[in-house]
Structure 1
Amino acid sequence: MRPGDRTMSSLVQRIARQALVTFRSPEPGKSFVENHGKLKSLMTEVRAADLKLVPRRADDSPAGGAPPPHRHRGAPPVTYMHICETDHFSMGVFLLKSGASIPLHDHPGMHGVLKVLYGTVRISCFDRPDPPPAAPPSAHPGALRRSVLRSTGEYTEDSGPCVLSPDRDNLHQIDAVDGPTAFMDILAPPYDPDDGRDCHYYRVLTEAEAEPDRTERTDQEVWLMEISQPAEFWCGGEPYPGPEVCL
């Protein structure tokens, strides 16, 4: 960085540069931990105004394009503003209408940092249990994965970032609480189905569905069934109004 760049660069630009430094070599070690800490610190600072976003009211409609008419009607419940993407990470903003959810989904082999810009989101994070689970119930061979509900919490613009790694909090569901919300999102590396990083959706089975003959279970442990993308969820796109990012 040249002298003066820090004072001239937008916060969004500094976050993107730090993300590139952090995830260019994401192997565990002191350097990664230090760089990841710097990235989380910068993400803690970001606010809607830094991206020139104006918080929306419950009756505001996203500016994104309409979905295919044969599948959905009306404006999408979730829209995405693309900021930038490299081979090492992607960065953008998700905007959720009041009552909208991003269903339970995974991030195979990926890191993530999520920071709420306005509104409130409830995030439920799941993991594979340790030690590895037993075989799935015979009623659902090959269709289930045993998971542990690690945490459920509400985040606002005053909260720190929600962080996930390939091995921790890698599956999560995100719900808008009491009105519209938006959050900045960094994923590293980006989704890439050709490289084994496709997004999969899941449903939490009830105890009776998963293990009808079992009367006891460990608290917080659940069976997740992989499902198709839920029909009520789709994501539109809209322009990003904030400062340009150059990498």
Structure 2
Amino acid sequence: MRVEAALAEQGPVAAGGLVPESPLQAPRKGRGRQKKVGSTAPSAVQRLLEACKEVFADGGAGIVPSPDNVEWLRSVLGNIGASDVGLTQNASYFQQDESTGSLPITYLHIYECDKFSYLLQIGIFCLPPSGVIPLHNHPGMTVFSKILFGSMHIKSYDWINVPHNTDKSSNFVHSTPPPGLRLAKVKTDAIFNESSTTSVLYPEEGGNMHCFTARTSCAVLDVLGPPYSIAEEGRDCTYYRDYPYDSCYGDINTMPNGNGAYAWLEEKEEPNDFVVVGAKYNGPKILEQ
């Protein structure tokens, strides 16, 4: 993913993820740091960072936090709003450029760490109306996302395996699909807004491949564990084009769960018209403790 005019102190930008999940639950983690008597209450983003450090303390590619930790971090994110990160809908990121008639997607880099026992990245994607983050994946990652304001359409997929031979338990066609195509199942195809529950996607499920289309100006707070990594681990972002199940391969009559539930995905190069611009995060400062 290209980042134009990125700040020198920013880390790599990674596309975020959102899929519907179960309702929030109260935190169950017991290792959180206790506030010192007489000290100033930490900001919401400071509390988020400390929670992330606990949740991803033993993190890494493909490592999923425990269910208790997932629910704890979801609850922390669920209590964060736009004002907690110093963001308003009249910010320049959401104002139409009269000279070009368009506006790029902006990424506000809050925090990243890949040098200690935990690996994580925290940031905000700011999308103008009709802004699109194309269909992409999150290899080996667990991603938490919270819409701070606005609404967006999200379509997401999970991979499924196609049987090579027919049997009584399979409703799929039995031949091998054409090279370059892989079958995926639609996880979600819906509109989300700031009232939607903080969502989670996982390395192998939860809508790991997804596309965002902003219906209004909107902002999404993302936590990725671990972040994308190109040099060390080859964990780069892959982009896809999707085809309806019966449009290029397969018989609609053999597809379980009705039309529209499955699609073929094909890898493609990063779209030339997809540009993410880095900008300075101006919200409450985060302190290392």
The TM-score normalised by the length of structure 2 is 0.72
**1: CA distance between counterparts of 2:38 and 2:76?**
16
Letter in 2 for 1:83: I
SS in structure 2 of the partner of residue 193 of structure 1:
coil
Alpha-carbon offset, residue 175 of structure 1: 1.2
Which structure has the highest helix share of the two? 1
Structure-2 residue corresponding to 1:133? 162
Structure-1 residue corresponding to 2:83? 49
Is 2:268 the counterpart of 1:222? no
Q: Aligned match of 2:204 in 167, 170, 193?
A: 167
From the superposition, tell whether residues 163 and 198 of structure 1 become closer, same or farther in structure 2 (CA, over 3 Å).
same
| Greater Cα shift, 109-118 or 17-26 | 17-26
Structure-2 residue corresponding to 1:68? none
Is 2:214 the counterpart of 1:176? yes
Is 2:240 the counterpart of 1:202? yes
Structure 1: runs of 5+ lacking an equivalent: 63-72
**1: CA distance between counterparts of 2:86 and 2:222?**
16
User: Contact (CA 8 Å) 1:76, 1:234: kept in 2 or not?
Assistant: no
Alpha-carbon offset, residue 140 of structure 1: 3.6
Is 2:281 the counterpart of 1:240? yes
> How many residues align structurally?
230
Alpha-carbon offset, residue 209 of structure 1: 4.6
Letter in 2 for 1:171: M
Alpha-carbon offset, residue 154 of structure 1: 2.1
From the superposition, tell whether residues 215 and 183 of structure 1 become closer, same or farther in structure 2 (CA, over 3 Å).
closer
User: Contact (CA 8 Å) 1:191, 1:197: kept in 2 or not?
Assistant: yes
Structure-2 residue corresponding to 1:78? 105
CA RMSD of aligned residues (A): 2.6
SS in structure 2 of the partner of residue 79 of structure 1:
strand
The TM-score normalised by the length of structure 1 is 0.84
Structure-2 residue corresponding to 1:148? 185
Alpha-carbon offset, residue 74 of structure 1: 7.5
Structure-2 residue corresponding to 1:20? 53
SS in structure 2 of the partner of residue 15 of structure 1:
helix
Is 2:126 the counterpart of 1:95? yes
Structure 2: runs of 5+ lacking an equivalent: 1-32, 165-173
Alpha-carbon offset, residue 80 of structure 1: 0.2
Aligned-pair identity in percent equals 30
**1: CA distance between counterparts of 2:203 and 2:44?**
26
Alpha-carbon offset, residue 197 of structure 1: 1.4
**2: CA distance between counterparts of 1:15 and 1:5?**
21
From the superposition, tell whether residues 119 and 133 of structure 1 become closer, same or farther in structure 2 (CA, over 3 Å).
same
SS in structure 2 of the partner of residue 20 of structure 1:
helix
**1: CA distance between counterparts of 2:267 and 2:214?**
23
From the superposition, tell whether residues 3 and 235 of structure 1 become closer, same or farther in structure 2 (CA, over 3 Å).
same
Letter in 2 for 1:133: V
User: Contact (CA 8 Å) 1:44, 1:159: kept in 2 or not?
Assistant: no
Aligned 1:62-73 pairs, distance under 5 A: none
SS in structure 2 of the partner of residue 38 of structure 1:
helix
SS in structure 2 of the partner of residue 108 of structure 1:
coil
